[in-house]
Structure 1
């Protein structure tokens, strides 16, 4: 077998891996490069393989940096089969139209053709079929695949590919347990080769109780000053986790009596998908639902789906909370709110997810005193906060323990470290090698390996 790294190598985004079994060409993920202008440029380059030669595209989950180039793959000739868990198929149908809208905005702004058209998106999604966790799917006489629970977002998967008794395991994005909604990541059994993410490979998160304490503190401080709290949030998973915990705060009467707006049409649609797939939740979330609690809704929460409703938010005087996309402030309605509230010293912005190098969110988080939004230089006078514990990604400590459990029978031959900035990937690789004495490799873009 040959393993090729065409995205997510020495960078967080653009996940795209090609496994050639000799009989089948199997892609794992086909995501957008995100963050800097250079990253956006990479999306428009041709694929380093012929898309029409690809037999299967397997998806670990539905975030844009793992699915965003699927319609381009179709546009360039792919007609194979797409396989993902049932929730992932539902989520890509909801998420990809939003990706197209953002790409069209970008194309109009920069004066070039969009990455793909709506017809490419529609036809690509028709190739997708759903799979269940833990059930083997035979692709040919030699190759079997299985989806395991990654605990990252609804339907997220660790993918096992077994061919001629060799097992290759792709971690996808690993969850950051304990998750208020989802199960902990599964432990794959005896893979020979492991491809593991490293987004937070050099960091240790705050514990979950600490993140709740920080959230309450940030809300209380902002409300006391009469300001507005902005929370740029990813529409998938992060928003639902926030709603769950804000609902919990409301039930315990620790949430101030102020309006809270979910100003994201995509997040509203995604929340509906979550409600339709409750069977994937963990026991505690199911217990709350069965008791009659709507875990994603509570008094004072307002869903603003259409543009006019979004504009009305700015007419609301006094303190308020606005959750809006995109999570890295690269587009979406959050930009309009940042334009208004970043200069306000009484207001605050709270980041609850990873901010790619080069993204607007990263620049704000790094302390830039002025940022550019819609071509205007905007002063950043508001308070800036970040909660690492809200990350949907496992930290170094969890990844190391997860790999140790996988290698309990000492079957692992090599570990490839991906989906992290270079320092993060290299630090994680050194830690794993020191602890387990297994060869670790941080592959670069275009690197190819023969799996013996």
Structure 2
């Protein structure tokens, strides 16, 4: 088997792996100004692990020429990918920062094929199976068999259960594993303890008469926050792309942990229309607002944060990792953030909670115990070589491929 790393090697973002020059695993974009994309490629088919921008963000560009590779994914991943592609067009369409057009996005529907978990399908001369990765709804580990070698591509995964999705339990036999390593140097706090701290903090702010703005990623994190708010009867609004994603998931409830709980959470929340100054009125209410963007670089958060920033009774509760250089990271480190081109000091309390949908150091190690005798290729992380070296010390055959590197097995 011939494996080429076109993106996501030694970095988080623009994941793309080419197998036997025919089958492409993921084709994402790395957010930034300007965004970054993987190397050019002309595959026979594409298999997508899940619907986050760093794994699906550049898929449409594969259809910009005459090529029409088939695209294989779970039903939620297809819907997420189309939504993200249209959002990218809205933000960057018609500029050098967007390598595809609306026509390319429309072509996705012509070549798309959806599959469920543990269904084996043939594509580009390979047998492929999806397994639940426990990351977001529809996220998948991908098992690829070319008749000689079985490759297990983990995609992004979580070994601890979330409110929205169950943890990964799949450990199929494989000869080699491409393993993500996002949090290979970190141990997450106990999930239930994080929830308890978050709920106590939000309830305290509401009791004091304040407003809580909860920036959250649209796919996965928004729904996780809705489930927690409903479970603890916290009054909340939801705004931004998370509204659309939540509605979409109502048609794919077999991919969530508890369909009834998600229905209740959706009914419990109030969806913001954004008309006639509604957001500014909501920001003055004694309530929680779950809104995009999760790192404060766009979305309705650009209205809510300035509206609540001046009063220390209010709170901004960040629910995920804040990448260096983003307004969310600046706010955590300096108490100020650049919002819509203006540097704003924030007097509202700022807190961060680790609701990660990725396995931590212990989760990664426990997962890889099932593959102690197989070849491990470490990718999707800021310290891939460091993690691979730690694995080698413990007897693993582990390496961290570099960007553009080709591995032959």
TM range (shorter): over 0.9
Return the alpha-carbon distance in structure 2 between the equivalents of residues 65 and 343 of structure 1.
34
Return the alpha-carbon distance in structure 1 between the equivalents of residues 158 and 14 of structure 2.
19
Alpha-carbon offset, residue 61 of structure 1 = 0.4
Return the alpha-carbon distance in structure 1 between the equivalents of residues 62 and 324 of structure 2.
25
* Aligned match of 1:60: 49
Alpha-carbon offset, residue 76 of structure 1 = 4.7
Contact 1:187 1:406 in 2 (8 A): no
Return the alpha-carbon distance in structure 2 between the equivalents of residues 275 and 227 of structure 1.
31
**Deviation per residue, 1:103-159 (Å, 9 max, x gap):** 349x5xxxx56432212211133221101211211225x521111110111110000
* Aligned match of 1:302: 270
Return the alpha-carbon distance in structure 2 between the equivalents of residues 260 and 145 of structure 1.
41
Contact 2:279 2:303 in 1 (8 A): no
Secondary structure at the aligned position of 2:19 is classed as strand
* Aligned match of 1:379: 345
- Uncovered stretches (5+) of structure 1, i.e. residues with no partner: none
Alpha-carbon offset, residue 30 of structure 1 = 0.9
Contact 2:63 2:69 in 1 (8 A): no
Q: 1:48 and 1:181, CA in 2 relative to 1: closer, same or farther beyond 3 A?
A: closer
Contact 2:328 2:337 in 1 (8 A): no
Return the alpha-carbon distance in structure 2 between the equivalents of residues 241 and 340 of structure 1.
25
Matches within 5 A, 1:203-282: 203-250=186-233, 255=234, 259-264=235-240, 266-282=241-257
Name which of 311, 314, 339 aligns with 1:344: 311
Return the alpha-carbon distance in structure 2 between the equivalents of residues 66 and 349 of structure 1.
28
Q: Does 1:417 align with 2:378?
A: yes
- Uncovered stretches (5+) of structure 2, i.e. residues with no partner: none
Alpha-carbon offset, residue 55 of structure 1 = 0.4
Secondary structure at the aligned position of 1:42 is classed as coil
Alpha-carbon offset, residue 7 of structure 1 = 1.5
Contact 1:396 1:428 in 2 (8 A): no
215-224 or 144-153, which deviates more: 215-224
Return the alpha-carbon distance in structure 2 between the equivalents of residues 178 and 57 of structure 1.
29
174-183 or 56-65, which deviates more: 174-183
**Deviation per residue, 1:15-65 (Å, 9 max, x gap):** 111112xxx51111111102x43xx3424xxx533x4x3101110001111
Return the alpha-carbon distance in structure 1 between the equivalents of residues 266 and 108 of structure 2.
33
Return the alpha-carbon distance in structure 2 between the equivalents of residues 372 and 320 of structure 1.
24
Q: Does 1:449 align with 2:392?
A: no
Contact 1:346 1:382 in 2 (8 A): yes
Return the alpha-carbon distance in structure 2 between the equivalents of residues 131 and 294 of structure 1.
24
Return the alpha-carbon distance in structure 2 between the equivalents of residues 328 and 16 of structure 1.
24
Q: Does 1:364 align with 2:361?
A: no
* Aligned match of 1:399: 364
Q: TM-score w.r.t. structure 2 length? A: 0.92
**Deviation per residue, 1:386-445 (Å, 9 max, x gap):** 111x111111111110110244xx3x1x212111113xx34432343333x112222222
Secondary structure at the aligned position of 1:297 is classed as helix
* Aligned match of 2:7: 7
Q: TM-score w.r.t. structure 1 length? A: 0.84
Return the alpha-carbon distance in structure 1 between the equivalents of residues 90 and 290 of structure 2.
19
Alpha-carbon offset, residue 313 of structure 1 = 2.5
RMSD: 2.2
* Aligned match of 1:134: 118
**Deviation per residue, 1:260-305 (Å, 9 max, x gap):** 21012x21221122222222333xx25x45xxx8332344x2101x
Return the alpha-carbon distance in structure 2 between the equivalents of residues 319 and 281 of structure 1.
30
Contact 1:263 1:323 in 2 (8 A): yes
* Aligned match of 2:162: 179
